[in-house]
A and B are shown apart, each in its own frame.
Chain A
Amino acid sequence: MANEQSNSANPNFNLKYRRKQSAEEMKHQVVTFVLMIFFTLIAFAAVAIEGISPWFIRPTLLLLAAVQVIFQLYYFMHMKHKGHGAITLFIFSGLLVGLITVLAFVTIVWL
């Protein structure tokens, strides 16, 4: 929202700037997309190839998943843009509360 507003009286200047911004954005999205596909391939390969210890595969998969979620949120759902502070705060405090609850259940509560 904040990015769409123009402070300049010169529409050409603004357009040029915005074109550049969009190109930059596009580049980020393509790079992220390729990386995500690559990570997915690694994940499938790790499970498919025999002889790798599950003790290595499990944390690797979880790590790859976490990175993908961050890519998704920041590059495709625009959380890296300005004006998303409140959303970021709520997502991460929600995660904190939720994960502590899950942690409590799997470690001390033994439901």
Chain B
Amino acid sequence: MSTYAKKKGFGATLWDFLTTVDHKKIAILYLITGGLFFVVGGLEAMFIRIQLAVPNNDFVSAGLYNEIITMHGTTMIFLAAMPLVFALMNAVMPLQIGARDVAFPFLNSLGFWLFFFGGTFLNLSWFMGGAPDAGWTSYASLALQSEGHGIDFYVLGLQISGLGTLIGGINFLVTIINMRTPGMTYMRMPLFTWSTFVVSALILFAFPPLTVGLTLMMFDRMFGANFFVTAAGGNTIIWEHLFWIFGHPEVYILILPAFGVFSELFATFSRKRLFGYSSMVFATVLIGFLGFMVWAHHMFTVGLGPIANAIFAVATMAIAVPTGIKIFNWIFTMWGGKVRFTTPMLYAVAFIPSFTMGGVTGIMNAAAPADYQYHDSYFVVAHFHYVIVGGVVLGLLAGITFYWPKMFGTMLNETLGKITFWFFLIGFHLTFFIQHFLGLLGMPRRVFTYQKDLGWETSNMISTVGAFLMAVGVLVMVYNIIITSIKNEKVGNDPWGDGRTLEWAISSPPPFYNFKQLPLVRGLDPYWIEKMEGKTEMTPAEPLGDIHMPNGSFLPVTISFGLFVAAFGALFHMDDKAWSIPVIIIGLLITFGSMLIRSVKDDHGFHIHKEDLMDNTDKGGKS
């Protein structure tokens, strides 16, 4: 049963990952898939920057450029950032609250495979007649006019992967509410777990509007409905509202986990308790609430009128308050601490000014009259890349470096990590800082080329150079990951030396059943408390006993694969292909057949017996 004792063949490992319901392995699946999509999205970004490096460039055509920018945004948000966030949540959150696994391990696996097949479906559009080309927001007036199947790939692919995200979010909520170890009260939960909790609630309330929007779009495009067709009595603005009622919480779904990671990092590497813990929790929850009340600030120029614009502008500016609380708390955590500048800490320190700059331009955009100037210019592009790259991506890189030993049992090389950091940070600011000024000089968003002598040439070239520096940083990171995996030098429980929370009290990587005995939590930063009292491990909260574990299952793959097949049928049904209806039926049969098997087949899991646990001497199990 042991996951690390014996070496398995490739086939066995593959089958193990295809059927796993273990949160730690699903985290690795999310990490690999998210990482691959991150590289794909990054390549698309490089193509954009190459095309824009010089005026009147013909590296790509206008139509292909539209497809590239659409897929860059969609891939980075839905297929790279979301799964990487989910990878960290899956790897860390159950350990942080001392749970055996997530509440519904089968659903966890199902969520991953739905995301995987949805993302694959979306990216297959490149090889099947063209990718979506109406921007990642896919505004209806543009999307309904788009020829080919690009938008249909967008609608169906996001529908399937969105289902996976929703399932994952509900799963995390139930886990955090029900499966905390004895003593782990809400106000003792680490900040990363708190942000997972709030983010899951945001997913629960934000994804249904997207589902509705995508369904209406699907009906409009495939079955001749007129929800968004103004000429037929519909209203194209409905899509914009639905999209942004989802879309604004979505950006908080991405940034809050990064905030959580940084909160852990600042406390760990300053060797200090997080400053203002309760105000941090309060700020996280408040950002979650306010995130739902500001969606129309993406639509100031639609013409909602001065009253709506004013109210949404003020609501937007209100978000700066809880975010400011967080920024100051992080600074005060470092103040007077014994700060160690490891690679993750470098990311954390660099995050503060980078993200604050994105926040400040956010407030500038939130001023509705000024936004009429910034709207649809490179100023907006610079703003959201500052918050997403300067916040989310720095958070993900920091989190992956920080938790790498916990996930894989080996440390990434620190020197190479720092090289990655400096290339990425300098490249990032070089790419996007100048874009503020490009925007103010009038360069519009989403143009595939521009004329000479508008004063944009030098700035665009600088921006492209920056993009290449970021690419070098990512390549160094990939190299780092490869050599670390080849060397595979195993590390102990707490490789960073200053771990505070429960995940550092368990071996790296943890055994598949997590804590042998649920640990007793006696306060905030439980492992730190035990360490300060001279102990080396957590006090158990229960006697050693049998552990009930779920069996692995291949059904999540087949359920998701069925929807993947059915989506192809639905897509080509528009072309009056004779085979489309049978394909839809076969796909749905696979899905519902698998669900039926899951329903009627009893699967009670298995028990790891107490005696087997006592044999395991590596933890010196006391009972």
Residues of A in contact with B (beta carbons under 8 Å apart): 86, 90, 93-94, 96-98, 100-101, 104-105, 108-111
Query: Which residues of A lie under 8 Å from residue B308 when comparing CB positions?
Result: 104, 108-110
Give Cα A98–Cα B308 distance, bound, in whole angstroms.
Answer: 17
Give Cα A86–Cα B235 distance, bound, in whole angstroms.
Answer: 38
20 further contact pairs, Cβ within 8 A, besides A86-B177, A100-B292, A104-B311: A90-B201, A90-B204, A93-B289, A96-B289, A97-B205, A97-B292, A97-B293, A100-B293, A101-B245, A104-B293, A105-B241, A108-B307, A108-B308, A108-B311, A109-B241, A109-B296, A109-B308, A110-B308, A111-B237, A111-B241
The reply to whether A94 and B305 contact each other, CB–CB distance below 8 Å, is no
Determine whether B46 belongs to the interface, using a CB cutoff of 8 Å to chain A. Answer: no
- Which residue of chain B has its CB nearest to the CB of A108? B308
Determine whether B238 belongs to the interface, using a CB cutoff of 8 Å to chain A. Answer: yes
The reply to whether A111 and B235 contact each other, CB–CB distance below 8 Å, is yes
Residues of B in contact with A (beta carbons under 8 Å apart): 177, 201, 204-205, 235, 237-238, 241, 245, 289, 292-293, 296, 304-305, 307-308, 311
Q: How far is the CB of B103 from chain A (nearest CB, A)?
A: 13
Query: Which residues of B lie under 8 Å from residue A90 when comparing CB positions?
Result: 201, 204
Q: How far is the CB of A6 from chain B (nearest CB, A)?
A: 20
The reply to whether B177 and A108 contact each other, CB–CB distance below 8 Å, is no
Q: Which 5 A-B pairs have the closest CB atoms?
A: A108-B308, A97-B292, A86-B177, A108-B307, A109-B308
Give Cα A109–Cα B289 distance, bound, in whole angstroms.
Answer: 20
The reply to whether A110 and B241 contact each other, CB–CB distance below 8 Å, is no
Give Cα A105–Cα B204 distance, bound, in whole angstroms.
Answer: 21
Give Cα A97–Cα B286 distance, bound, in whole angstroms.
Answer: 12
The reply to whether A101 and B292 contact each other, CB–CB distance below 8 Å, is yes
Query: Which residues of A lie under 8 Å from residue B204 when comparing CB positions?
Result: 90
- Which residue of chain A has its CB nearest to the CB of B174? A86
The reply to whether B245 and A110 contact each other, CB–CB distance below 8 Å, is no
Query: Which residues of A lie under 8 Å from residue B205 when comparing CB positions?
Result: 94, 97-98
Q: How far is the CB of A103 from chain B (nearest CB, A)?
A: 10
Query: Which residues of A lie under 8 Å from residue B305 when comparing CB positions?
Result: 108, 110
Query: Which residues of B lie under 8 Å from residue A105 when comparing CB positions?
Result: 241
Q: Is the interface of A mostly helix, strand, loop or mixed?
A: helix
The reply to whether A108 and B304 contact each other, CB–CB distance below 8 Å, is yes
Q: How far is the CB of A107 from chain B (nearest CB, A)?
A: 9
Give Cα A48–Cα B241 distance, bound, in whole angstroms.
Answer: 39
24 A-B residue pairings within 8 Å (CB atoms): A86-B177, A90-B201, A93-B201, A96-B289, A97-B205, A97-B289, A97-B292, A97-B293, A98-B205, A100-B292, A100-B293, A101-B245, A101-B292, A104-B293, A104-B311, A108-B305, A108-B307, A108-B308, A108-B311, A109-B296, A109-B304, A109-B308, A110-B304, A111-B238
> Which of A90, A96, A97, A98 lies at the interface centre, i.e. has the most chain B CB atoms within 10 A of its CB?
A97
Q: How far is the CB of A73 from chain B (nearest CB, A)?
A: 18
Query: Which residues of B lie under 8 Å from residue A109 when comparing CB positions?
Result: 241, 296, 304, 308
Q: How far is the CB of B109 from chain A (nearest CB, A)?
A: 25
Query: Which residues of A lie under 8 Å from residue B201 when comparing CB positions?
Result: 90, 93
- Which residue of chain A has its CB nearest to the CB of B306? A108
Give Cα A109–Cα B245 distance, bound, in whole angstroms.
Answer: 13
Give Cα A86–Cα B197 distance, bound, in whole angstroms.
Answer: 12
Give Cα A105–Cα B235 distance, bound, in whole angstroms.
Answer: 14
- Which residue of chain A has its CB nearest to the CB of B311? A108
- Which residue of chain B has its CB nearest to the CB of A97? B292
Give Cα A101–Cα B293 distance, bound, in whole angstroms.
Answer: 7
Query: Which residues of A lie under 8 Å from residue B238 when comparing CB positions?
Result: 111
Query: Which residues of A lie under 8 Å from residue B177 when comparing CB positions?
Result: 86
Q: How far is the CB of B312 from chain A (nearest CB, A)?
A: 8
- Which residue of chain B has its CB nearest to the CB of A96? B289
> Which of B204, B235, B292, B296 lies at the interface centre, i.e. has the most chain A CB atoms within 10 A of its CB?
B292
Query: Which residues of A lie under 8 Å from residue B289 when comparing CB positions?
Result: 93, 96-97
Q: How far is the CB of A96 from chain B (nearest CB, A)?
A: 8
Give Cα A104–Cα B292 distance, bound, in whole angstroms.
Answer: 11
Give Cα A108–Cα B311 distance, bound, in whole angstroms.
Answer: 9
Query: Which residues of A lie under 8 Å from residue B292 when comparing CB positions?
Result: 97, 100-101
Query: Which residues of A lie under 8 Å from residue B311 when comparing CB positions?
Result: 104, 108
Give Cα A71–Cα B386 distance, bound, in whole angstroms.
Answer: 49
Give Cα A85–Cα B336 distance, bound, in whole angstroms.
Answer: 39
Q: How far is the CB of B246 from chain A (nearest CB, A)?
A: 12
Q: How far is the CB of A89 from chain B (nearest CB, A)?
A: 9
Give Cα A97–Cα B245 distance, bound, in whole angstroms.
Answer: 11
- Which residue of chain A has its CB nearest to the CB of B309? A108
Query: Which residues of A lie under 8 Å from residue B296 when comparing CB positions?
Result: 104, 109
> Which of A93, A104, A111 lies at the interface centre, i.e. has the most chain B CB atoms within 10 A of its CB?
A104
Q: How far is the CB of A21 from chain B (nearest CB, A)?
A: 24
Give Cα A111–Cα B227 distance, bound, in whole angstroms.
Answer: 13
Q: How far is the CB of B556 from chain A (nearest CB, A)?
A: 26
Give Cα A110–Cα B311 distance, bound, in whole angstroms.
Answer: 14
Q: How far is the CB of B8 from chain A (nearest CB, A)?
A: 40
Query: Which residues of A lie under 8 Å from residue B293 when comparing CB positions?
Result: 97, 100-101, 104
Query: Which residues of A lie under 8 Å from residue B307 when comparing CB positions?
Result: 108
Q: How far is the CB of A76 from chain B (nearest CB, A)?
A: 23
Q: How far is the CB of A8 from chain B (nearest CB, A)?
A: 23
Q: How far is the CB of A105 from chain B (nearest CB, A)?
A: 8
> Which of A94, A105, A109 lies at the interface centre, i.e. has the most chain B CB atoms within 10 A of its CB?
A109
